[in-house]
Each structure stands twice: as C-alpha cells, then as structure tokens.
C-alpha cells in the first residue's frame, strides 16, 4: 500500500466516527477500528521490503519553490514507530469502546483519536522536515482535543491547555531549529539531510539548531524541566493516557532524536545536553513516582522516568546504546500501555484511583491482577520479562560511560533511579492488589467484561513473549530500526539473552531490585518525610509565568488598542501619507511623456457637478438623508465619466450598483438616527481635514503623474486585445477578460460576493434572534409615514416593468460577449427588477411569491461556474479554459456559442442571489406585523374575500 494512503487513511477515517455515531457506538468504534486496521495491514505489506533493508518511498512535489515536498519514506525506525502507533491504536480503540460511558460523545472521541493517529503517522513517515513540522503541530493540537475531552472537568481543560502551551512552544522552537538545519544543508528532505553529518556538525549554526530542536523534542517527550505537563495531562480519559502518554505522543520527541541521531549525535554538546537531561529526568521521575498515590500520576511519573532513560541512551551516542534505546521503546510501549489500561480498569470498577483507598484486589479482580503483575514486573526489570532485557542493556551502557572523567556518576545514578523504578513497580502490585481485602471500596471491584481486559492482556502476552524470545520476535525490527538510527549503512546485530553469567549489569540489577524492596518496605516513613519536605509545585510556577505573560501582553495591547477605530484609521493614514511623502522627496520622477488632452464642455460640467456634490456632502454630512441623495449624484457622475472615457461596461455596472447601494443605505438609514450630532471640537475637525487634504492631494498628484506618462513596458493588454476574438471568441474585450482570460479571478469574486451575502444573512438572523427583535417589532417610525405605502400607480407600473426589465437583463446578458454587457450587469438589472416588486408591493407580498431561496441561487451560480470550469478537464485542458464556435441555422443569422456564456450565467445567478439576499435580509428587519396592506393590488379570483363583498352588498 502506498505510504500516501497509509498517512491519509486515519485522516479520512476521522470523518466516519463523527458521522456514524448516529448509527450507534459500535458502528463508530468499528469504523475507527477498521480504518486503523486497514492502515496497519498496509504497513505490514511494506514490512518485508523494509526488513530486507530497503527504504520504501513515496514522493510528491508539493511546493517545490519552498522546498516543501509531500515526501514519505519508510525505514526500520519508521516501521517500528508506525507499527506501535497503529497496533496500539487498534487496542486502544477496542478498549475505549468499553471504557467510555454512555454520556461521553464517542463519535468525537474516535474522530480526535484518528486525527491524532494520522498526525503521528505523518511524523514518523515524513521525508521532509517542513512536512514533519506540520504533522508535529497537528499532534499538539489533536492531543489538546483529546486531553481536554472531558470538557466539563476543569482539570481536563487546564491540563489540555498546559500540554498545548508547553508542547506548542517547544514546537515553535523546533521550527526554528529545523529551518536552520535546512538552511545549513540546503535541502529540507530528511534523506538528504541525514547524509550531511560533517557539513552540519562543522557549521557554526550547529549548536543553535541542536538546542532549538532539542527543546522541541524535550517538551514533547516531557524531559526535565518540561516534564510537568505530562502528569497534568492525566486528567484525560484513560484510553488517551494509555495511547498518547505511553506509546505515541511522548515518544515523538524520542523519535525525533532517534531520527536526527545520525547527524546530530556524537558531539560533546549532544552528549552533555541529551544524556544529562535524560539522566536527571530518569532519576527525578522515578523518585516522584514512588510518592504518588494516584495510580495514573504514579504511571505518569514513571513514564517521565522511562522517557528519561531512553533519552539518556540516545544521548550516549554509541551504537549499542542506540540499540538499547530502540529496544526499550518497544518494551516500554507494551508494558506501560498495559499498565495504564489496568489503572483504567481499576478506576472503572472501584471508582477510585487512590492507592490509599485500594488494596486487596487480588482475589476480587484476578484477571486484572495477572495483567498488572506481569506488566509491573517488567517495568521493575524482573527476568524473564522484556523490561529486564532492555534495562540490563541500559545498565551495561552506563558502566561504559564517562561523565566528566567520573566512572561512577552515571552508573550510580542509574542504579539509584532503577531502585526507585523497582520500588514504585512493586508498590503498584503490593499496595493495590495484595494485602487484606477491604470493606470500604467506593464500589465493589470486580473484573470487567472481556472487551476491557482483552487489549491489556494481549500486551501482557507480548511482554512475556518478547522477554522469553527477544531475538525471534523483536530482533529484525530492532536491528533495522537501530540501523536507521545509527545510519552508517550497516545493520547492527541485535542479540539479547536472559542469562549471560554474573556480570556487572546483573549485579546492578540485583542491587536495584533489592533496594526497591527495601524502599517499599520503608515507604510509609519515607512518604511522610517526602510530604513534609518543601518542593516547588510546577503548576503554580507555570500559572504564575503564564499569568505574568498574559498581563504584560494585555498591557501592551491596551496601550496600542484603546478601542478607538478613528484613532487607528488616523494613525494608518498619517503613516501611509508620511511614507508616500518620503518616497516623493527621495525618488526621481521621469519626464512627462504624454500630452494633456483638451477637455470639452461636458467634462468641465461633470467635474463642477462632482466637486460641488462632494463638497456639499462633506459640509452637510450631518443631514444623513441629504448626504445619501448627494452620494447618488456622485455615483451618477462617476458612471457618466466611465461612459465618456470609453468604458461602457463600467458605466453600466456603476449605475446599476449605484441603485442597489442607495436602496441598501436607505433601508439602513430607516433604523439609524437621521442626523449626526456635532461631537468633535473644531481643532479635531481641522486636524482631520489637514490629513484628508494632504492624502487627497497626494493621490490626485500621483494619478496625474501616472496619466501624463507612458507605460515603461508594454502592457499585457496588447495580448488581450489581440487574442480576445481569436482565442476567446468575443469582441467585448472587457467581458472576455472577465469570463475567460481572468476567469479564475471572477470565479473567486462571485464566491466572495456570495459569502458577503451569507454573512449579512447570518447577521440578520443573529439580530432577529436576540432581544432586538422585540424592539424592532414595536418600533414606532421616527418620521411621518406616507399615507399609502403601496400606491396603486407604482404597483401597476412595477408589475408591467418586471418582465420588461428581465427582458433587458436577458438582452444585456446575451450581448455581453461581444458588446457592453454581461453577467454582472445583467445580474444587477434582474435584481433591480425584483427589488421594484419589494418596494412597490411590500415585503410580505413579494416574499409570498418567492419560490426559490436566494441562498440556492447563489449556490447554483457558483456551482454552474465551477462545473463549466471543470468541463475543460474533460477536454484535457486546465480549469476554466473556454471553448467556442459558430452555428448557422437558416434562416437565422450565424451566431456564436461559447462555454464562457455558461460561466457568465453562473456569475449572473450569483450576483442576483447575493444582491437579493442582502437586501431581503435588511428588509426583514423592517418587517412588522400588520404593516403590509393585506393584498396590495393582487387580482386573484381565487381569493376568498369576494364573499365579504357579497355580504356587504
């Protein structure tokens, strides 16, 4: 199966649970499981090739200009991680089906889970670091949704926020690091980067890149000092903890370190940063874990500790350590996921996770007990389980490690950590399951149904099986994964065995286990000491830091954004004017090359009217209705100037837009105050006038300078003029540009227009749904009303005009390709024809006769335009390529057909729908009961008011 499909399957599958939840919880779970299974099978199909030493690739140049390619590859490391993600994912899906209660929205859960799974798969399969970063951020986002899944719990919300803040900011650091890395190598492809060890390590940017990338990895994998988010994320439902915090998300940081190991590891900086951080984290996590009474908190800190262990191994930078790290990744995933699931089972059945309230569960929950014992002993490092093998490999590596010339520091601390690790593992068994049965459990514990224990049981079987025959079961995977980590082209030999005589590691193991037993024995006293000792609380610090940052940014924002839009506009205008003035003073203007044309009488008259109207608006803008009328005058003159200056299409468009705009503003003014009071002092007005005049002079001067000079390069308009008829089949070049040359722009534009109309519709709905509705219904008009809102003459006239106007629209539409006209103008005219009915006969009357909703008209317009565009694909041409031809039907004149006309029909419909929806929405605000005359001039014989007349007679 193609790697593309494996990476895409979880994302595609994420749709199903959300939809299928209506068919029941089983259907939702099954769909999620099926998708995961499919991807898992797809992965397994690729496994033989990888285990032969090949690297499976899938490449797609996505944005090659940015170096962002959708390249995926699968090597041993990718196979190991993808296998864990999908395999444990399957078990989690099964477990979650039985874990979540009836009240939990299960469809959402599986959708989030699959999104997360897809993001993880994307990380481990990416062959491009930019792509990897995208998936990396996706895991942060989707894990946020999963951790905060129980939205009603404050702990869940806070934990989710903390996880997002920590891993998200780490992700930002990593973006920086990765970009530096890509810059050093000159490629963003991992397979290329991984070949360039010398180049990268010799670069002066190596250290910054390393630190930034490590911050990303450490935050994700909960390494000290970023470890604190992981325990707080335990507020998530247990399946989430078992999945994210044992096998997948927290391993993403480890994966990244392993992935980058060939080029980043091996230096002193790497050793001291990574190994030390890992060591501290391992010891610290283990110590804290022993003193946690919440089962999940115990497991969370133990996870922190084990992640530290693996980080430390990767930090050693030696081949055997890398092999041990890979092996422990598998082992930790198996026993820790199983342990989280048993913790969930206990919580589910006893309704508490507090160790102090548990104990003696051995007889009550024998199955859970067996699973928990196997997994815990593996975690403690007891033979013959898999945890023992990798822990011993770890101890062996520490013995060979020199830290600042000290032979004893690393092994000593490792044994110390392992001691606590053994202690908390034993505690998980002894304090929860052993001891006397109690009588005060919140509810009587019992073993759960098979669906809940099957998944951890399978994992426990793996724990034992890998422990007994590690080389057969995990050998090939570990070898090839380690080969990918080491990256020198050789496949290392992996050989683990339970017994190889009395060695130093074995003695260290023995010390750790003995020490662990002693620690557990002294636990009550130690716990008292521990609880009495003062220690920093991470959440308090985190909240304080975050609060401080929030307050600072709030202060900065308050200074910059004081809520005065006038001020923002003024600042922006002054700034723009200032930089324009600067450009004017420092730049050099070319000589004027075009002669100024003589103006006839008409332009002078038009200019005088325009200037007078504009000045009048400014002076009298407080009388709003008057200003509106004058705006109409300005619009009219603008459209006449378009006509005079050889732009008939623009003139037609401007005048029809003018009509609808004025109607729109009139409708709005109906609700607004009719006058603007004087508020600003004279000084403020003078200041504004100064800004306005300066800016206006600048704009006027600029266009004058432009108009008196020729183009410095030939314009592409020559091409349009030359090809309009030959290539586009139309003689109206403006229309051909709109529907053909630049059809994509037009297509985008009608979508924007449609969205604007829908926004207005939504706003209207919101207003009508609020308290404002009551006010609107009881509003008293503030101006004297006309006696007859629907005068007879006007009603008759508009009804006669309706078909005529539509006819004109059709005419304008059809001639558009060759003469001024087209979809935009025709759409506006048709809309005006319908608006006339609203105005003359009333909203109620018109709404009653409306058969098709305007939303639908907008939608069909966009769809028609899109399908026309896609039609070009059938001919093997790019989107929106038009075709045309000529038909000759006697006795008609020869006429043209063009697919562009269909596209223009889409434009027409979208414009009609958008204009009508906009104005209709506004008109709905004005509607009041009893407002419309019942039947304005409606001659309808079927109507039942005839009997009334008879009665009167």
Partner 1 sequence: MEILFASAVGILTAAGIYLILRKRTFPVILGLSLLTYGVNLFLFATGRLMVNAPPVLNKYAEVPYTDPLPQALVLTAIVISFGMTAVVVMIALGAYLSAKDDHIDMVEDTKRAGDDA
Q: Which is nearer to partner 1, 255 or 642 (CB)?
A: 642
Of 359, 360, 603, 727, the one binding partner 1 by CB under 8 A = 603
First and final C-alpha spacing in the chain: 86
Query: Could you tell me the smallest distance in angstroms from the CB atom of residue 692 to partner 1?
Result: 4
Position among 60, 541, 756, 870 found at the interface with partner 1 (CB under 8 A): 756
Q: Residue 759 interacts with partner 1 (CB under 8 A)?
A: yes
Find tokens 């990798």 and name the residue: 390
Out of 586, 597, 683, 785, the only residue in the binding site for partner 1 (CB under 8 A) is: 597
- 477/758 with CB nearer partner 1: 758
Residues 351, 551, 594, 877: which binds partner 1 (CB under 8 A)? 594
- The binding track of 867-886 with respect to partner 1, each residue x by CB under 8 A or -, is --------------------
The stretch among 53-61, 437-445, 538-546, 620-628 that binds partner 1 (CB under 8 A) is 620-628
Site string for partner 1, 377-416 (x = CB under 8 A): ----------------------------------------
Residue in the block written with tokens 């190598």: 185
Q: Which is nearer to partner 1, 354 or 765 (CB)?
A: 765
Question: Rounded to the nearest whole angstrom, what is the least distance from the CB of residue 706 to partner 1 in the complex?
Answer: 6
Residue pair 285/304 in contact (Cβ under 8 Å)? The answer is yes
The one among 763, 796, 807, 870 contacting partner 1 by CB under 8 A: 763
Distance, CA of 74 to CA of 168 (rounded, Å): 26
CB 551, min distance to partner 1, A: 19
Q: Which two tokens stand for residue 177?
A: 């690091």
Which residues, in sequence order, are bridge partners of residue 57? 73
Question: What is the footprint of partner 1 within residues 135-194 (CB under 8 A)?
Answer: none
579 or 618: CB nearest partner 1 = 618
* 310 close to 329: Cβ distance less than 8 angstroms: yes
For residue 666, give the H/E element and its range: helix 648-669
766 forms part of the interface with partner 1 (CB under 8 A) = yes
Residue placing its CB nearer to partner 1 in the complex, 418 or 864: 864
Instruction: Figure out which of the listed residues 141, 367, 465, 573 binds partner 1, where binding follows CB under 8 A.
Output: 573
Interface residue with partner 1 among 634, 826, 830, 840 (CB under 8 A) is: 634
DSSP one-letter string for 576-615: HHHHHHHHHHHS-PPPP-SPPPPP-HHHHHHHHHHHHHHH
Nearer to partner 1, 381 or 827 (CB): 827
Which tokens belong to 254?
A: 């480890």
Residue 931 within binding range of partner 1, rule CB under 8 A: no
Measured distance CA(925)–CA(768) in Å, rounded: 7
Q: Which stretch binds partner 1 (CB under 8 A): 319-327, 437-445, 846-854, 920-928?
A: 920-928
Q: What is the DSSP string of 861-907?
A: HHHHHHHHHHHHHHTTPPTT---EEEE--TTSPPEEEEHHHHHHHHH
Q: Give min distance, CB of 743 to partner 1, in A.
A: 11
Please name the residues in contact with 648: beta carbons below 8 A apart, sequence gap of 6 or more: 642, 820
- Least Å distance between CB 849 and partner 1? 24
In DSSP terms, 63 is beta-bridged to 68
Q: Which 278-297 residues touch partner 1, going by CB under 8 A? A: none
The answer to whether the CB of 151 falls within 8 A of the CB of 158 is: no
CA distance 316 to 271: 6
**Distance between CA atoms of residues 227 and 544, nearest Å:** 17
* Least gap, CB of 708 to partner 1 (angstroms): 6
| Residue whose pair of structure tokens reads 């006969």 in the numeric block | 841
Closer of 450 and 772 to partner 1 (Cβ) = 772
757 binds partner 1 (CB under 8 A): yes
Between residue 645 and residue 704, which ones bind partner 1 under the rule CB under 8 A? 645-650, 653-654, 657, 660-661, 664-665, 668-669, 671-673, 676, 679-680, 688-689, 691-693, 695-697, 699-701, 703-704
- 318's torsion region: left (phi>0), alpha (psi -120 to 50) or beta? beta
DSSP code, position 738: I
**CB of residue 567 to partner 1, shortest distance in Å:** 8
Of 742, 799, 855, 924, the one binding partner 1 by CB under 8 A: 742
- Selected range binding partner 1 among 25-33, 386-394, 753-761, 792-800, rule: CB under 8 A: 753-761
User: For residues 452 and 650, which CB has a smaller minimum distance to partner 1 in the complex?
Assistant: 650
Provide CB contacts within 8 A for 249, sequence distance 6+: 116, 120, 139, 143, 220
**Per-residue binding letters, 881-910, with partner 1 (x by CB under 8 A):** ------------------------------
Closest listed residue to residue 513, CA positions, set 396, 379, 409? 379
Q: Which positions from 507 through 566 interact with partner 1, judged by CB under 8 A? A: 562-566
Give the per-residue contact string, 785-824, with partner 1 (x = CB under 8 A; - = no).
---------------------------------xxx---x
Q: How far is the CB of 562 from partner 1 (least distance, A)?
A: 5
Other CB atoms within a 10 A radius of the CB of residue 327 amount to 27
Provide the 10 A C-beta neighbour count for residue 87. Answer: 21
358: phi then psi, degrees, rounded to nearest 5: -110, -175
Q: How far apart are CA 166 and CA 233, in angstroms?
A: 11
The helix/strand/coil state of 512 is: helix
Task: Count residues near partner 1 (CB under 8 A).
Answer: 115
* Position 914 contacts partner 1 (CB under 8 A): yes
Q: Closer CB to partner 1, residue 76 or residue 635? A: 635
Q: Which two tokens stand for residue 930?
A: 């009893």
Q: Which residues of 1-24 are buried (b: 16+ CB within 10 A; e: fewer)?
A: eebeebbebbbebbebbbebbeee
Give 470's Cβ-side CA count (13 Å radius): 25
Residue with smaller CB distance to partner 1, 367 or 926:
926
Tokens 């101006």 belong to 783
Closest contact distance (angstroms) between CB of 735 and partner 1 is: 8
Region 704-733 residues binding partner 1, contact defined as CB under 8 A: 704, 706-708, 715-717, 720-721, 724-725, 731-733
Q: Are 379 and 316 in contact (CB under 8 A)?
A: no
Say if residues 394 and 485 touch (Cβ distance below 8 Å): no
Task: Examine residue 618 and tell whether it contacts partner 1 (CB under 8 A).
Answer: yes
Considering the complex, what minimum distance in angstroms separates the CB of residue 557 from partner 1?
A: 13
349 vs 735, which CB is nearer to partner 1? 735
Give the shortest CB-489-to-partner 1 separation in angstroms: 58
Residue labelled with tokens 């009719």 = 674
928 binds partner 1 (CB under 8 A): no
* Nearest distance in Å: CB 846, partner 1: 19
- The residue within the footprint of partner 1, chosen from 21, 627, 846, 900 (CB under 8 A), is 627
Answer yes or no whether residue 642 interacts with partner 1 by CB under 8 A.
yes
CB of 763 to partner 1, least distance (A): 5
Q: Which of 276, 326, 341, 279 is nearest to 304 (CA)?
A: 279
Q: E strand or H helix at 57, and its extent?
A: strand 56-58
Place of tokens 């909240």: 543
Peptide bond into 891 cis (omega under 30): yes
In the list 437, 770, 850, 867, the residue contacting partner 1 (rule: CB under 8 A) is: 770
Smallest distance, Å, CB 744 to partner 1? 12
């Amino acid at each position: 199966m193609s790697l593309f499909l494996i990476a895409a399957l979880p994302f595609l599958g994420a749709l199903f649970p959300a939809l299928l939840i209506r068919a029941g919880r089983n259907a939702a779970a099954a769909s999620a499981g099926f998708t995961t299974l499919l991807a898992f099978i797809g992965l397994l199909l690729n496994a033989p090739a990888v285990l032969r030493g090949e690297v499976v690739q899938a490449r797609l140049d996505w944005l090659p200009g940015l170096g962002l390619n959708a390249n995926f590859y699968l090597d041993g490391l990718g196979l190991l991680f993808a296998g864990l993600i999908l395999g444990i994912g399957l078990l989690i899906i099964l477990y979650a089906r039985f874990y979540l209660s009836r009240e939990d929205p299960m469809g959402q859960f599986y959708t989030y889970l699959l999104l997360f799974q897809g993001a993880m798969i994307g990380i481990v399969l990416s062959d491009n670091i930019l792509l990897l970063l995208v998936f990396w951020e996706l895991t942060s986002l989707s894990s946020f949704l999963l951790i905060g899944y129980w939205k009603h719990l404050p702990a869940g919300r806070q934990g989710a926020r903390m996880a997002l803040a920590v891993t998200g900011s780490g992700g930002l650091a990593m973006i920086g690091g990765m970009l530096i890395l890509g810059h050093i190598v000159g490629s963003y492809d991992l397979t290329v980067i991984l070949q360039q060890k010398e180049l990268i390590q010799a670069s002066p940017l190596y250290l910054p890149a390393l630190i930034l990338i490590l911050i990303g990895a450490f935050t994700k994998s909960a390494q000290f000092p970023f470890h604190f988010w992981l325990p707080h994320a335990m507020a998530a439902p247990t399946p989430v903890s078992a999945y994210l915090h044992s096998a997948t998300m927290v391993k993403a940081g480890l994966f990244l370190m392993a992935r980058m190991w060939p080029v980043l590891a091996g230096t002193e900086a790497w050793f001291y940063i990574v190994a030390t951080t890992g060591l501290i984290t391992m010891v610290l996590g283990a110590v804290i874990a022993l003193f946690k009474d919440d089962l999940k908190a115990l497991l969370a800190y133990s996870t922190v500790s084990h992640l530290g262990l693996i980080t430390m191994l990767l930090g050693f930078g030696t081949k055997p350590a890398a092999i041990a790290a890979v092996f422990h990744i598998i082992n930790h995933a198996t026993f820790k996921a199983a342990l989280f699931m048993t913790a969930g089972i206990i919580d589910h059945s006893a309704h508490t996770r507090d160790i102090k309230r548990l104990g003696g569960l051995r007889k009550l929950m024998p199955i859970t007990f067996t699973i928990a014992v196997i997994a815990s002993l593996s975690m403690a490092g007891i033979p013959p389980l898999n945890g023992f093998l990798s822990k011993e490999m770890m101890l062996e590596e520490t013995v060979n490690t020199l830290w600042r010339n000290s032979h004893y520091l690393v092994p000593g601390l490792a044994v110390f950590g392992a001691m606590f690790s053994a202690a908390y593992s034993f505690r998980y068994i002894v304090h929860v399951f052993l001891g006397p049965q109690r009588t005060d459990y919140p509810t009587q514990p019992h073993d759960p149904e098979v669906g809940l224990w099957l998944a951890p049981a399978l994992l426990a079987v793996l724990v034992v099986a890998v422990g007994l025959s590690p080389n057969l079961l995990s050998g090939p995977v570990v070898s090839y994964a380690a080969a990918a980590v080491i990256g020198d082209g050789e496949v290392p030999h992996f050989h683990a065995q339970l017994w190889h005589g009395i060695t130093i590691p074995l003695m260290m193991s023995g010390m750790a286990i003995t020490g662990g037993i002693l620690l557990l024995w002294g636990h009550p006293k130690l716990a008292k000491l521990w609880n009495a000792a003062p220690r920093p609380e991470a959440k308090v610090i985190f909240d304080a830091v975050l609060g401080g940052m929030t307050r600072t940014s709030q202060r900065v924002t308050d200074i910059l954004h004081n809520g005065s839009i006038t001020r923002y506009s003024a600042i922006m205008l002054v700034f723009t004017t200032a930089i324009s003035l600067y450009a004017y003073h420092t730049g050099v203007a070319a000589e004027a090359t075009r002669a100024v044309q003589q103006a006839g009488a008409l332009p002078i008259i038009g200019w005088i009217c325009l200037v007078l109207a504009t000045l009048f608006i400014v002076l009298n803008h407080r009388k709003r209705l008057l200003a509106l009328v004058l705006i109409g005058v300005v619009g009219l003159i603008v459209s006449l100037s378009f006509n005079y200056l050889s732009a008939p299409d623009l003139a037609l468009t401007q005048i029809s837009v003018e009509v609808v705009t004025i109607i729109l503003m009139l409708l709005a003014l109906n609700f607004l105050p009719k006058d603007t009071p004087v508020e600003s002092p004279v000084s403020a007005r003078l200041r504004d006038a100064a800004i306005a005049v300066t800016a206006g002079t600048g704009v006027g001067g600029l266009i004058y300078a432009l108009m008196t000079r020729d183009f410095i390069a030939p314009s592409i308009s020559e091409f349009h003029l030359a090809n309009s008829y030959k290539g586009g089949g139309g003689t109206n070049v403006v229309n051909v540009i709109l529907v053909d040359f630049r059809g994509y722009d037009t297509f985008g534009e009608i979508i924007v227009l449609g969205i604007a109309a829908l926004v207005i519709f939504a706003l209207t709905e919101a207003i009508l749904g609020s308290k404002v509705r009551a006010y609107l219904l009881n509003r008293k008009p503030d101006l004297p009303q006309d006696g007859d809102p629907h005068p007879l003459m006007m009603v008759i006239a508009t009804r006669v005009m309706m078909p005529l106007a539509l006819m004109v629209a059709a005419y304008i539409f059809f001639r558009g390709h060759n003469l001024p006209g087209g979809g935009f103008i025709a759409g506006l005219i048709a809309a005006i024809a319908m608006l006339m009915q609203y105005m003359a006969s009333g909203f109620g009357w018109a709404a009653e006769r409306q058969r098709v909703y305007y939303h639908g008209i907008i939608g069909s317009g966009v769809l028609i335009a899109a399908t026309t565009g896609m039609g070009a694909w059938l001919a093997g041409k790019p989107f929106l390529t038009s075709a045309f031809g000529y038909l000759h039907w006697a006795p008609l004149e020869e006429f043209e057909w063009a697919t562009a006309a269909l596209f223009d029909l889409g434009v027409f419909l979208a414009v009609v729908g958008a204009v009508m929806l906009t104005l209709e929405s506004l008109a709905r605000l004005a509607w009041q009961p009893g407002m419309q005359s019942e039947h304005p001039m409606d001659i309808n014989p079927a109507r039942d008011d005839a009997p009334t007349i008879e009665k009167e007679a």
